[in-house]
Structure 1
Protein backbone atom coordinates (compact mmCIF):
# COMPACT_ATOMS: atom_id res chain seq x y z
CA UNK A 1 0.00 0.00 0.00
CA UNK A 2 1.03 3.62 -0.55
CA UNK A 3 2.85 5.76 1.99
CA UNK A 4 0.45 7.77 4.15
CA UNK A 5 1.00 11.26 5.55
CA UNK A 6 -0.47 13.08 8.52
CA UNK A 7 -0.51 16.32 10.43
CA UNK A 8 -1.70 16.87 13.99
CA UNK A 9 -3.46 19.72 15.71
CA UNK A 10 -2.94 19.97 19.46
CA UNK A 11 -5.28 22.17 21.46
CA UNK A 12 -3.12 24.36 23.69
CA UNK A 13 -5.58 25.57 26.39
CA UNK A 14 -5.47 23.05 29.23
CA UNK A 15 -9.12 23.43 30.23
CA UNK A 16 -10.58 23.43 26.71
CA UNK A 17 -13.59 21.36 25.66
CA UNK A 18 -11.65 18.88 23.50
CA UNK A 19 -14.80 17.32 22.03
CA UNK A 20 -16.04 20.73 20.89
CA UNK A 21 -12.67 21.63 19.33
CA UNK A 22 -12.47 18.24 17.61
CA UNK A 23 -15.93 18.90 16.14
CA UNK A 24 -14.80 22.29 14.82
CA UNK A 25 -11.70 20.76 13.23
CA UNK A 26 -13.78 17.98 11.66
CA UNK A 27 -16.21 20.63 10.33
CA UNK A 28 -13.31 22.42 8.62
CA UNK A 29 -12.17 19.16 7.03
CA UNK A 30 -15.74 18.40 5.94
CA UNK A 31 -16.00 21.81 4.21
CA UNK A 32 -12.64 21.21 2.54
CA UNK A 33 -13.82 17.82 1.23
CA UNK A 34 -17.18 19.13 0.01
CA UNK A 35 -15.37 21.86 -1.95
CA UNK A 36 -12.69 19.49 -3.27
CA UNK A 37 -14.19 16.29 -4.64
CA UNK A 38 -10.70 14.86 -5.15
CA UNK A 39 -10.56 14.52 -1.36
CA UNK A 40 -13.86 12.61 -1.00
CA UNK A 41 -13.44 9.44 1.10
CA UNK A 42 -9.64 9.87 1.18
CA UNK A 43 -8.92 11.72 4.45
CA UNK A 44 -9.20 9.91 7.76
CA UNK A 45 -9.32 11.32 11.28
CA UNK A 46 -7.30 9.91 14.16
CA UNK A 47 -7.35 10.84 17.84
CA UNK A 48 -3.81 10.19 19.13
CA UNK A 49 -4.60 10.97 22.77
CA UNK A 50 -8.02 9.27 22.97
CA UNK A 51 -8.82 8.33 26.58
CA UNK A 52 -11.75 6.81 28.42
CA UNK A 53 -13.04 10.23 29.48
CA UNK A 54 -12.12 12.36 26.44
CA UNK A 55 -11.26 12.35 22.74
CA UNK A 56 -7.96 13.85 23.90
CA UNK A 57 -6.19 17.14 23.22
CA UNK A 58 -5.01 16.19 19.70
CA UNK A 59 -6.61 15.40 16.35
CA UNK A 60 -4.75 14.08 13.31
CA UNK A 61 -5.66 13.99 9.63
CA UNK A 62 -4.29 11.14 7.51
CA UNK A 63 -4.20 10.46 3.76
CA UNK A 64 -2.01 9.03 1.00
CA UNK A 65 -2.10 12.35 -0.91
CA UNK A 66 0.50 14.68 0.61
CA UNK A 67 -0.54 17.73 -1.47
CA UNK A 68 -4.17 17.28 -0.44
CA UNK A 69 -3.12 17.22 3.19
CA UNK A 70 -1.02 20.36 2.72
CA UNK A 71 -4.10 22.11 1.34
CA UNK A 72 -6.16 21.05 4.35
CA UNK A 73 -3.48 22.21 6.79
CA UNK A 74 -3.65 25.75 5.33
CA UNK A 75 -7.36 26.24 5.99
CA UNK A 76 -8.00 29.76 7.37
CA UNK A 77 -9.58 28.51 10.62
CA UNK A 78 -6.50 26.46 11.49
CA UNK A 79 -4.18 29.38 10.63
CA UNK A 80 -6.23 31.74 12.81
CA UNK A 81 -6.19 29.37 15.78
CA UNK A 82 -2.41 28.95 15.45
CA UNK A 83 -1.99 32.73 15.23
CA UNK A 84 -4.10 33.14 18.40
CA UNK A 85 -1.87 30.53 20.10
CA UNK A 86 -4.82 28.21 20.70
CA UNK A 87 -3.59 25.41 18.38
CA UNK A 88 -0.24 23.86 17.65
CA UNK A 89 -0.16 22.54 14.07
CA UNK A 90 2.54 19.99 13.21
CA UNK A 91 4.22 19.77 9.82
CA UNK A 92 2.90 17.22 7.31
CA UNK A 93 4.96 14.07 7.91
CA UNK A 94 5.09 10.43 6.76
CA UNK A 95 3.20 7.97 8.96
CA UNK A 96 5.69 5.76 10.86
CA UNK A 97 5.60 2.21 9.51
CA UNK A 98 5.44 0.71 13.00
CA UNK A 99 2.28 2.62 14.00
CA UNK A 100 -0.55 0.22 14.94
CA UNK A 101 -3.87 0.50 13.09
CA UNK A 102 -7.14 1.71 14.56
CA UNK A 103 -10.58 2.54 13.24
CA UNK A 104 -12.64 5.48 14.49
CA UNK A 105 -16.26 4.72 13.69
CA UNK A 106 -19.23 7.04 13.53
CA UNK A 107 -21.97 4.89 15.03
CA UNK A 108 -25.30 6.49 14.12
CA UNK A 109 -27.22 3.78 15.99
CA UNK A 110 -26.05 5.34 19.27
CA UNK A 111 -27.74 8.66 18.47
CA UNK A 112 -30.97 6.85 17.68
CA UNK A 113 -31.09 5.42 21.19
CA UNK A 114 -31.50 8.84 22.85
CA UNK A 115 -34.95 10.08 23.85
CA UNK A 116 -35.12 13.05 21.45
CA UNK A 117 -34.37 10.86 18.46
CA UNK A 118 -36.91 8.25 19.58
CA UNK A 119 -39.62 10.92 19.91
CA UNK A 120 -38.90 12.27 16.40
CA UNK A 121 -39.08 8.79 14.89
CA UNK A 122 -42.28 7.93 16.76
CA UNK A 123 -43.88 11.13 15.48
CA UNK A 124 -42.86 10.28 11.90
CA UNK A 125 -44.27 6.75 12.33
CA UNK A 126 -47.58 8.11 13.61
CA UNK A 127 -47.80 10.54 10.68
CA UNK A 128 -47.07 7.73 8.19
CA UNK A 129 -49.62 5.46 9.84
CA UNK A 130 -52.30 8.15 9.62
CA UNK A 131 -51.39 8.90 6.01
CA UNK A 132 -51.75 5.25 4.98
CA UNK A 133 -54.76 4.52 7.20
CA UNK A 134 -53.03 2.08 9.54
CA UNK A 135 -55.00 1.28 12.68
CA UNK A 136 -52.01 1.25 15.02
CA UNK A 137 -48.33 2.13 15.02
CA UNK A 138 -46.00 -0.82 15.61
CA UNK A 139 -43.91 -0.63 18.77
CA UNK A 140 -40.17 -1.04 18.47
CA UNK A 141 -38.01 -2.59 21.12
CA UNK A 142 -34.87 -0.44 20.92
CA UNK A 143 -33.04 -1.21 24.16
CA UNK A 144 -29.41 -1.68 23.12
CA UNK A 145 -26.02 -1.63 24.78
CA UNK A 146 -23.08 0.13 23.16
CA UNK A 147 -19.36 -0.12 23.77
CA UNK A 148 -17.49 2.97 24.95
CA UNK A 149 -17.96 6.08 22.79
CA UNK A 150 -17.38 9.84 22.81
CA UNK A 151 -19.76 12.57 21.66
CA UNK A 152 -18.39 15.28 19.37
CA UNK A 153 -20.74 18.20 18.58
CA UNK A 154 -20.63 19.46 15.02
CA UNK A 155 -22.67 21.82 12.86
CA UNK A 156 -23.89 21.22 9.34
CA UNK A 157 -22.59 23.72 6.81
CA UNK A 158 -25.61 23.22 4.55
CA UNK A 159 -28.45 23.39 7.09
CA UNK A 160 -26.72 25.26 9.92
CA UNK A 161 -28.19 22.70 12.35
CA UNK A 162 -26.06 21.22 15.09
CA UNK A 163 -25.78 17.49 15.66
CA UNK A 164 -23.50 15.04 17.46
CA UNK A 165 -21.04 12.51 16.09
CA UNK A 166 -20.95 9.41 18.30
CA UNK A 167 -17.46 7.99 17.80
CA UNK A 168 -16.04 4.63 18.86
CA UNK A 169 -12.47 3.37 18.66
CA UNK A 170 -11.62 -0.13 17.41
CA UNK A 171 -8.16 -1.71 17.45
CA UNK A 172 -7.27 -3.38 14.15
CA UNK A 173 -4.73 -6.05 13.22
CA UNK A 174 -3.95 -4.62 9.79
CA UNK A 175 -4.39 -1.61 7.58
CA UNK A 176 -7.58 -1.44 5.51
CA UNK A 177 -8.09 0.40 2.24
CA UNK A 178 -8.58 4.18 2.51
CA UNK A 179 -12.34 4.70 2.66
CA UNK A 180 -13.97 7.22 5.00
CA UNK A 181 -17.15 9.25 5.18
CA UNK A 182 -17.05 13.02 4.65
CA UNK A 183 -16.24 13.49 8.37
CA UNK A 184 -13.08 11.38 8.08
CA UNK A 185 -14.60 8.47 10.01
CA UNK A 186 -15.41 4.86 9.29
CA UNK A 187 -19.01 3.67 9.46
CA UNK A 188 -20.58 0.39 10.56
CA UNK A 189 -21.22 -0.63 6.97
CA UNK A 190 -19.55 0.56 3.78
CA UNK A 191 -16.79 2.95 4.93
CA UNK A 192 -14.27 0.78 6.75
CA UNK A 193 -10.96 2.65 6.44
CA UNK A 194 -8.35 2.51 9.19
CA UNK A 195 -5.87 5.11 10.41
CA UNK A 196 -2.58 4.88 12.30
CA UNK A 197 -2.63 5.21 16.07
CA UNK A 198 -0.36 8.26 16.36
CA UNK A 199 -0.09 8.35 20.15
CA UNK A 200 2.57 10.84 21.25
Structure 2
Protein backbone atom coordinates (compact mmCIF):
# COMPACT_ATOMS: atom_id res chain seq x y z
CA UNK A 1 0.00 0.00 0.00
CA UNK A 2 1.26 3.52 -0.81
CA UNK A 3 2.48 5.47 2.18
CA UNK A 4 0.50 8.57 3.08
CA UNK A 5 1.55 11.61 5.04
CA UNK A 6 -0.24 14.26 7.02
CA UNK A 7 0.29 17.30 9.16
CA UNK A 8 -2.13 18.54 11.77
CA UNK A 9 -3.15 22.03 12.81
CA UNK A 10 -4.61 22.57 16.27
CA UNK A 11 -6.47 25.80 16.99
CA UNK A 12 -5.18 27.04 20.34
CA UNK A 13 -8.08 29.29 21.50
CA UNK A 14 -10.53 26.85 23.10
CA UNK A 15 -13.58 29.04 22.37
CA UNK A 16 -12.77 29.93 18.77
CA UNK A 17 -15.17 29.40 15.87
CA UNK A 18 -13.70 26.08 14.70
CA UNK A 19 -15.81 25.97 11.54
CA UNK A 20 -14.59 29.43 10.51
CA UNK A 21 -10.94 28.48 11.14
CA UNK A 22 -11.42 25.20 9.24
CA UNK A 23 -12.79 27.19 6.30
CA UNK A 24 -9.75 29.48 6.31
CA UNK A 25 -7.35 26.54 6.43
CA UNK A 26 -9.21 24.76 3.61
CA UNK A 27 -9.11 27.98 1.59
CA UNK A 28 -5.30 28.12 1.97
CA UNK A 29 -5.05 24.50 0.83
CA UNK A 30 -7.32 25.30 -2.13
CA UNK A 31 -5.05 28.21 -3.18
CA UNK A 32 -2.00 25.95 -2.80
CA UNK A 33 -3.58 23.36 -5.12
CA UNK A 34 -4.61 25.97 -7.68
CA UNK A 35 -1.00 27.22 -7.80
CA UNK A 36 0.54 23.70 -7.79
CA UNK A 37 -1.27 21.72 -10.44
CA UNK A 38 0.45 18.44 -9.48
CA UNK A 39 -1.37 18.72 -6.14
CA UNK A 40 -4.86 19.22 -7.66
CA UNK A 41 -7.43 16.81 -6.20
CA UNK A 42 -4.70 14.82 -4.37
CA UNK A 43 -4.85 16.45 -0.93
CA UNK A 44 -7.57 15.35 1.46
CA UNK A 45 -8.92 16.99 4.61
CA UNK A 46 -9.48 15.11 7.85
CA UNK A 47 -11.06 16.35 11.09
CA UNK A 48 -9.52 14.34 13.96
CA UNK A 49 -11.87 15.79 16.61
CA UNK A 50 -15.12 15.84 14.58
CA UNK A 51 -18.12 15.49 16.90
CA UNK A 52 -21.82 16.31 17.07
CA UNK A 53 -21.18 19.87 18.26
CA UNK A 54 -18.44 20.99 15.85
CA UNK A 55 -15.75 20.00 13.37
CA UNK A 56 -13.39 19.96 16.34
CA UNK A 57 -10.34 21.90 17.45
CA UNK A 58 -8.01 20.51 14.75
CA UNK A 59 -7.73 19.86 11.02
CA UNK A 60 -5.32 17.61 9.13
CA UNK A 61 -4.23 17.51 5.50
CA UNK A 62 -3.34 14.16 3.92
CA UNK A 63 -1.53 13.14 0.71
CA UNK A 64 0.81 10.43 -0.55
CA UNK A 65 3.50 13.00 -1.43
CA UNK A 66 5.62 13.99 1.58
CA UNK A 67 7.19 17.00 -0.17
CA UNK A 68 3.76 18.29 -1.13
CA UNK A 69 2.69 18.14 2.50
CA UNK A 70 5.84 20.00 3.52
CA UNK A 71 5.13 22.72 0.96
CA UNK A 72 1.55 23.13 2.13
CA UNK A 73 2.55 23.26 5.80
CA UNK A 74 4.83 26.25 5.08
CA UNK A 75 2.10 28.45 3.61
CA UNK A 76 2.42 32.04 4.94
CA UNK A 77 -1.06 32.03 6.55
CA UNK A 78 -0.21 28.98 8.68
CA UNK A 79 3.16 30.48 9.68
CA UNK A 80 1.47 33.76 10.62
CA UNK A 81 -1.12 31.99 12.79
CA UNK A 82 1.61 29.96 14.52
CA UNK A 83 3.65 33.15 15.17
CA UNK A 84 0.53 34.85 16.58
CA UNK A 85 0.07 31.93 19.00
CA UNK A 86 -3.26 30.91 17.47
CA UNK A 87 -2.24 27.62 15.77
CA UNK A 88 0.00 24.69 16.67
CA UNK A 89 1.40 22.82 13.67
CA UNK A 90 2.88 19.34 13.70
CA UNK A 91 5.64 18.25 11.35
CA UNK A 92 4.81 16.01 8.40
CA UNK A 93 4.11 12.50 9.78
CA UNK A 94 3.44 9.13 8.21
CA UNK A 95 -0.16 7.89 8.46
CA UNK A 96 -0.30 4.81 10.73
CA UNK A 97 -1.27 1.54 9.02
CA UNK A 98 -3.91 0.98 11.69
CA UNK A 99 -5.90 4.14 10.85
CA UNK A 100 -9.56 3.60 9.93
CA UNK A 101 -10.64 5.12 6.60
CA UNK A 102 -13.31 7.82 6.58
CA UNK A 103 -14.70 10.23 4.06
CA UNK A 104 -15.58 13.88 4.65
CA UNK A 105 -18.20 14.67 2.05
CA UNK A 106 -19.29 18.04 0.70
CA UNK A 107 -23.02 17.47 0.31
CA UNK A 108 -24.46 20.31 -1.77
CA UNK A 109 -27.93 18.76 -1.58
CA UNK A 110 -28.17 19.98 2.04
CA UNK A 111 -28.00 23.63 0.95
CA UNK A 112 -31.00 23.10 -1.32
CA UNK A 113 -33.14 22.33 1.72
CA UNK A 114 -32.85 25.84 3.14
CA UNK A 115 -35.39 28.57 2.44
CA UNK A 116 -32.97 30.97 0.71
CA UNK A 117 -31.98 28.30 -1.80
CA UNK A 118 -35.61 27.38 -2.46
CA UNK A 119 -36.51 31.04 -3.09
CA UNK A 120 -33.60 31.41 -5.56
CA UNK A 121 -34.67 28.27 -7.45
CA UNK A 122 -38.31 29.46 -7.63
CA UNK A 123 -37.19 32.86 -8.92
CA UNK A 124 -34.99 31.23 -11.60
CA UNK A 125 -37.86 28.96 -12.59
CA UNK A 126 -40.25 31.92 -13.01
CA UNK A 127 -37.67 33.86 -15.09
CA UNK A 128 -37.12 30.78 -17.28
CA UNK A 129 -40.87 30.36 -17.77
CA UNK A 130 -41.25 34.02 -18.76
CA UNK A 131 -38.33 33.77 -21.23
CA UNK A 132 -39.84 30.69 -22.85
CA UNK A 133 -43.33 32.22 -22.96
CA UNK A 134 -44.76 29.60 -20.62
CA UNK A 135 -47.54 30.51 -18.22
CA UNK A 136 -46.09 31.38 -14.84
CA UNK A 137 -46.78 28.82 -12.19
CA UNK A 138 -44.99 28.19 -8.96
CA UNK A 139 -43.01 24.95 -9.21
CA UNK A 140 -44.37 22.15 -7.06
CA UNK A 141 -42.06 20.49 -4.64
CA UNK A 142 -42.18 17.18 -2.91
CA UNK A 143 -38.98 17.65 -0.95
CA UNK A 144 -39.33 15.54 2.15
CA UNK A 145 -35.67 15.06 3.03
CA UNK A 146 -34.01 13.45 6.00
CA UNK A 147 -30.51 14.81 6.40
CA UNK A 148 -27.85 13.09 8.49
CA UNK A 149 -25.67 15.12 10.85
CA UNK A 150 -23.54 17.78 9.14
CA UNK A 151 -21.47 20.89 9.85
CA UNK A 152 -21.35 24.20 7.98
CA UNK A 153 -17.85 25.37 7.00
CA UNK A 154 -17.86 28.96 5.69
CA UNK A 155 -15.47 29.68 2.83
CA UNK A 156 -14.80 32.38 0.23
CA UNK A 157 -14.45 31.95 -3.51
CA UNK A 158 -11.30 33.45 -5.04
CA UNK A 159 -12.89 33.64 -8.50
CA UNK A 160 -16.33 35.07 -7.66
CA UNK A 161 -15.48 36.85 -4.40
CA UNK A 162 -18.65 35.39 -2.82
CA UNK A 163 -18.89 33.68 0.54
CA UNK A 164 -20.63 30.33 0.73
CA UNK A 165 -20.87 27.24 2.92
CA UNK A 166 -19.38 23.77 2.56
CA UNK A 167 -22.07 21.50 4.04
CA UNK A 168 -19.89 18.64 5.26
CA UNK A 169 -20.71 15.16 6.55
CA UNK A 170 -18.54 12.34 7.85
CA UNK A 171 -18.98 8.74 6.74
CA UNK A 172 -16.97 5.58 7.30
CA UNK A 173 -15.38 4.00 4.25
CA UNK A 174 -14.94 0.25 3.88
CA UNK A 175 -12.77 0.37 0.77
CA UNK A 176 -9.00 0.89 0.31
CA UNK A 177 -7.62 4.43 0.56
CA UNK A 178 -8.27 6.61 -2.47
CA UNK A 179 -6.93 10.11 -3.26
CA UNK A 180 -9.73 11.59 -5.34
CA UNK A 181 -10.97 14.86 -3.82
CA UNK A 182 -12.58 18.06 -4.97
CA UNK A 183 -10.56 21.29 -4.89
CA UNK A 184 -11.42 21.72 -1.19
CA UNK A 185 -9.97 18.35 -0.17
CA UNK A 186 -13.41 16.80 0.35
CA UNK A 187 -15.26 13.91 -1.23
CA UNK A 188 -18.55 14.50 -3.06
CA UNK A 189 -21.73 12.43 -3.24
CA UNK A 190 -20.85 10.89 -6.60
CA UNK A 191 -17.72 11.70 -8.65
CA UNK A 192 -15.03 12.35 -6.04
CA UNK A 193 -14.92 9.57 -3.46
CA UNK A 194 -11.54 10.07 -1.83
CA UNK A 195 -10.91 8.75 1.67
CA UNK A 196 -8.68 9.94 4.51
CA UNK A 197 -7.45 8.33 7.73
CA UNK A 198 -9.46 8.99 10.88
CA UNK A 199 -6.64 10.60 12.82
CA UNK A 200 -8.14 10.42 16.29
CA UNK A 201 -5.35 10.41 18.88
Instruction: Report the RMSD for the aligned CA atoms in angstroms.
Output: 0.9
Q: What is the SS of the residue equivalent to 1:98?
A: coil
How far the C-alpha of 1:127 sits from its partner, in A, is 0.4
Matches of 2:94 and 2:170, distance apart in 1: 22
Structure 2 gaps of 5+ residues are: none
Structure 1 distance, partners of 2:183, 2:143, is 28
Per the alignment, residue 88 of structure 1 pairs with 88
Give the TM-score, by structure 2 length: 0.97
Query: Distance between the aligned counterparts of 1:193 and 1:164, measured in 2?
Result: 20
1:13-162 aligned within 5 A: 13-137=13-137, 138-162=139-163
* In 2, Cα distance between equivalents of 1:175 and 1:83: 38
Cα distance in 2, alignment partners of residues 123 and 175 from structure 1 = 44
Cα drift, residue 174 of structure 1: 3.1
Give the total of aligned pairs.
200
Distance 1:172 1:77 in 2: 32
* TM-score normalised by the chain length of structure 1: 0.97
Structure 1: how far apart are the matches of 2:155 and 2:178? 26
Name the SS of the counterpart of 1:104 in structure 2.
strand
The answer to whether the Cα contact below 8 Å between 1:48 and 1:199 also exists between their aligned partners in 2 is yes
Deviations 1:109-157 (A, max 9, x none): 0011111111111111100000001114432222311100001111111
Distance (Å, rounded) in 1 between the aligned partners of 2:197 and 2:67? 19
Aligned counterparts of 2:79 and 2:18: Cα–Cα separation in 1 = 18
Taking the aligned partners of 2:36 and 2:122, their CA distance within structure 1 comes to 38
Does residue 1:5 correspond to 2:5, yes or no?
yes
Gaps of 5+ in 1: none
Equivalent-residue separation in structure 2 for 1:156 and 1:136 (angstroms):
34
Q: Distance in 2 between matches of 1:143 and 1:120?
A: 19
Question: What's the CA shift for 1:73?
Answer: 0.4
Question: Is the 8 Å Cα contact of residues 175 and 195 (structure 1) preserved in structure 2?
Answer: no
